[in-house]
Amino acid sequence: MPNSAAPGSVSSVTTHTGPLRSLHNGTFRWLWAAGLMIGFGNWMQRLTISWLVLDQTGSVFLTALSFAIRSAPNLVFGPMGGAIADRYSRRKVLMLTAGLKASIAIGIWLLVLQDDVLIWGLMALVALAGITASFELPASQALAVDVVGRRNAANGVAMLSVASRAVGAAGALTGGLLIESLGASPVFFLGGLAFAIGGFFVSRVVVDQPKQDSSRAGQGIWGLFGNTIGGLKVLFGIPVVATLLAFAMVVEILGFTYQSVMPSLAEDVLGVGAVGLGALTAMAAIGGLAGSVIITALSDYGRKGLLALGIIFIYGAGLIALGVSDIFPLSLLIVFTVGTMASSFDALQWTMLMANVPDDMRGTAMGGWIFAIGFGWAGSLELGVLAEVYSVGWALSVNGIGLLILGFIALFFARGLRRI
């Protein structure tokens, strides 16, 4: 297979225009297909784990804890994953993480086949899946830029986001229907198969990647740790990047953790069961796809910082509305809006980060982003406690108000963000 895009060069994609231009690159199509399969497995597994914990324990807090356990490893392993993505073959890292995710899914499948599910054993496997994801995302986003070239970086990153979310609705609905008809175990087996196929597709992605600057490249395991810490220092030393990472952390805590109470919202507030949870998650996924498509179409838009602030305001209002609604069709529409804002914010963050770091630090930048969103565990626990003590609706509304306050603070004080 020909090398479509040497690092930092103008790839064959540059002869094409429009929001789908990255898909004209044959190498990128393999990566995009891998994103489809891995995204399908992720959506099914995420929904089914949360439903299984709620079904087995009846605890909103423990359900939220399963989300916290998945995101907490990002604090430690996210920066390390970024450093590894810049030191080693990103393609091989992705192949390895896909294989590990397939193995973890099969492990959960075998556990669920037991009569009494060991919740803490399940939590341990969820934590392993979270660790694996810390290495997957930096490698995948940086590899997308390697394939399409820096000139098309924003489009390639946004298109990869589209891939991971395009099958979200199918994954969520499939998971919900399988839970209702056959139980939870087949979902994990199917997820493991999807991860394995995604790993095969990644193996077809052959492209050069930029060599790390020798002044930042340490040797051995201690060199890797040095690169990890040094990379974070470099990132936080770039004012624009530091601002983006700070906003990623706060929005993750207040916004993205809404998913941790979705099972309770479906079961206890809306009374729609596993199929209804699948429908709600599917609408979030469809919204996520819409958001990724919107950001792809706006990849050349020059005021991305102001666009991000607008997204935060709509995101906060959406969470408040979701907390107030007890009507299932209305909640579906609101979740679609929230999902659109969530994926739009993510895709904007990725493109702005990639545009403000050196070529050989793309993986490090994504590792820093994963470190920032690793604080989401605090938001999951906060939502779980508020939902357990008060109500799910009250908890969602509090976080929505928090996002609105963040938006106003940024509007008046974050001048650097507004100029991006």
Structure tokens at 116: 């009494």
Cα angle 345-7-95, degrees, rounded to a multiple of 5: 70
| Domains, the chain | 22-209+217-415 (1.20.1250.20)
Asked if residue 274 lies in contact with residue 179, where contact means CB atoms within 8 angstroms, the answer is yes
The closest of 376, 395, 401 to 313, measured between CA atoms, is 401
Q: Cα separation of 390 and 382, whole Å?
A: 12
Report how far residue 337's alpha carbon sits from residue 346's, in angstroms, rounded to the nearest whole number: 14
**Exposure on the CB side of residue 152, measured as CA atoms within 13 A:** 31
**What amino acid occupies position 400?**
G
Widest distance between CA atoms in the chain: 59
pLDDT in 10s for each residue of the chain, 420 residues? 334 433 333 344 445 556 667 777 888 889 989 988 998 888 888 888 888 888 888 888 888 888 888 888 888 787 788 778 877 888 899 999 999 999 999 998 988 887 676 788 888 998 999 899 888 888 887 888 888 777 777 677 777 777 777 777 778 778 888 888 888 888 899 989 999 999 999 988 887 766 655 454 445 555 566 666 777 777 777 888 888 888 889 998 998 888 888 888 998 899 888 888 888 988 988 888 888 778 777 766 667 778 888 899 999 999 999 999 999 999 999 999 999 999 888 878 877 887 777 766 777 777 788 888 888 888 888 888 998 888 899 999 999 999 999 988 888 776 666 566
Q: Which residue type does 322 have?
A: L
Amino acid at 141: Q
Contact 167/66 with Cβ under 8 angstroms? no
| Predicted structure pTM score | 0.72
What is the rounded CA–CA span in Å between residue 275 and residue 174? 9
Q: Of 153, 210, 158, 206, nearest to 13 (Cα)? A: 153
Asked if residue 266 lies in contact with residue 277, where contact means CB atoms within 8 angstroms, the answer is yes
Sole residue written with tokens 């490090």? 364
SS (H, E, C) 342-398: HHHHHHHHHHHHHHCCCHHHHHHHHHHHHHHHCCHHHHHHHHHHHHHHCCHHHHHHH
> 362 CB contacts (<8 Å, ≥6 apart)?
85, 86, 138, 141, 142, 145, 354
Residue 176 near residue 164 (C-beta atoms within 8 A): no
Q: Answer yes or no: are the C-beta atoms of 401 and 316 closer than 8 Å.
A: yes
Angle (nearest 5°) at CA 408 between 242 and 311:
75
Question: Could you give the CA distance from residue 187 to residue 176 in angstroms, rounded to a whole number?
Answer: 9
Measure the CA dihedral 215/216/219/224, to 10°: 170
Q: Which residue has the tokens 């938006």?
A: 407
